[in-house]
Amino acid sequence: SLEESGLSPTWITDILPSVIQDLNRYGVCVVDNFLGSDKAQPILQEVEALHVRGLFEDGQVVSPNVQDQARGIIRGDKITWVTGNEPQCANIRRLVSAVDSIIAKANHHQDAGQLAKYSITWRSRAMVACYPGQGARYVKHVDNPDGDGRCITAIYYINKDWTPEGGGVLRIYPEGNSQVAEIEPLFDRMLFFWSDRRNPHEVLPANVTSRYAITLWYYD
């Protein structure tokens, strides 16, 4: 609930319109200074603590299928899943509560537009991902190409002092749009996009030592 996340009630009314509008218009929405650095910092510290404790397992560095193997490394990420109820994840829990509130309010909003066709009642756990630098990337893909139920991808970035040399930009190729969106994985930046074929995307090679992101997938 919103109270859990310690955010002011106006926080959601301030953010909601742009989430609804941008998702309807572009299929992608970026919200900067999402929680404020005082709330973002402890989330970064919890993620770093997970990393230090060795809880990130290596992503699948070689794809199970042959054609991807021909393409070699398809995923350089290392991930760990958290529910937010773990003892050392109280701040990640607050982030999850805040995003849940926004998605629920947007889904039920009277001007929800395309969002109204979904009835979002479920979500994944939080996937904490680390791209360990040295060019780690994620090849162009669609999160939900074959209707597995995921309708919205929500990614929260916590990379302080990111610079272009750090790499790891998320490039989205919105369907039917010649414009490519390049999303820098900036600290306290929240990103929403449709999970289906409307948004093929890739993580460009990351050079910074640990590029962190927390992803939630919402189900129709």
Ligand X SMILES: O=C(O)CNC(=O)c1n[nH]c2ccccc2c1=O
Euclidean distance between CA atoms 140 and 171, whole angstroms: 9
Residue listed under structure tokens 């805040």: 98
Decide: is 188 part of the binding site for Fe ion (CB under 5 A): no
Q: Which does 213 bind (CB under 5 to 8 A by kind): Fe ion, ligand X, none?
A: ligand X
Shortest Å, Cβ 29 to Fe ion: 16
Q: Which range of residues in 40-48, 103-111, 143-151, 176-184 is near Fe ion by CB under 5 A?
A: 143-151
DSSP 214: E
Among 15, 20, 155, 181, binds ligand X (CB under 6 A): 155
Return the closest-CA partner of residue 96 out of 152, 156, 143, 44: 156
Among 46, 77, 100, 143, binds Fe ion (CB under 5 A): 143
* Residues recorded for the chain: 220
Q: Which does 40 bind (CB under 5 to 8 A by kind): Fe ion, ligand X, none?
A: none
| Residues in 99-138 that interact with ligand X by CB under 6 A | 129, 138
Give the gyration radius of the chain's Cα atoms. 17
Token output for 54: 């060795």
Under a CB-based contact definition with an 8 Å cutoff, are residues 203 and 168 in contact?
yes
Shortest Å, Cβ 4 to ligand X: 25
| Residues in 56-95 that interact with ligand X by CB under 6 A | 59, 77, 79
5 vs 159, which CB is nearer to ligand X? Answer: 159
Euclidean distance between CA atoms 93 and 4, whole angstroms: 8
Euclidean distance between CA atoms 37 and 29, whole angstroms: 20
Q: Which does 128 bind (CB under 5 to 8 A by kind): Fe ion, ligand X, none?
A: none
Residue 218 has a CB neighbour count (10 Å cut-off) of: 24
Shortest Å, Cβ 111 to ligand X: 28
Decide: is 143 part of the binding site for ligand X (CB under 6 A): yes
Q: Which range of residues in 27-35, 46-54, 140-148, 164-172 is near Fe ion by CB under 5 A?
A: 140-148
Question: How many residues make contact with ligand X (CB under 6 A)?
Answer: 12
| Residues in 199-218 that interact with ligand X by CB under 6 A | 201, 203, 213
Q: Per 3-state DSSP, what percentage of the chain is helix, strand, and coil (rounded to 5)?
A: 35, 30, 35
Collapse the DSSP code of 62 into the 3-class scheme (helix H, G, I; strand E, B; otherwise coil) and give the result.
strand
Residues that bind Fe ion (CB under 5 A): 143
